[in-house]
Amino acid sequence: MADAAFAAAQVEGEARLLRAEEALPKDVLAADGYLFCAPENLAALSGAMKEFFDRCYYPVLGQVEGRPYAQMICAGSDGEGAARQLARIATGWRLKEVQPPLIVCTYAQTEEAILAEKVIDPADLARCMELGAALGAGLAMGVF
């Protein structure tokens, strides 16, 4: 999902794709907008994404207000818990939501399915690409 959105967001080569584990406060500060992409685990953000926010929240607090963001959640059932959690964090940073959460459900409900590598449906990948392209274009045009 992140790769699809990133590929579509390339406007003038400005988009960057970082894993939650790699992203630092300086990366958050350097960006004009954000597309957060995370899996939902047990009705919440994944540990890696939560750790990113834990690590970066206070160092950038008060320095990113008004910047646009969107989010993509990959979930086994509904994804709403992770989307709400991420939106609350974004509200604390005073980010501006520019699109409702894009939630892709894999319907993985057994241990085997949950642990298996996920294959995202092409229609869902197209939605990810549309979101990435819209966010990239909006930032490039100064719409946000």
| pLDDT for residue 12 is more than 70 | no
74-103 confidence digits (pLDDT tens) = 999 899 999 999 999 999 999 999 999 999
- Can you list the domains of the chain with their CATH numbers? 2-141 (3.40.50.360)
Nearest to 33 by CA among 127, 124, 143, 128: 143
Q: Where are the alpha helices (DSSP H) in the chain?
A: 2-9, 25-30, 47-60, 80-93, 111-115, 122-141
Distance CA 137, CA 144 (A): 10
Which residues, in sequence order, are CB contacts of 125 under 8 Å at separation 6+? Answer: 1, 4
45-57 confidence digits (pLDDT tens) = 999 999 999 999 9
Over range 34-41, report the average pLDDT.
96
| pLDDT for residue 14 is more than 90 | no
Residue 117 DSSP symbol: P
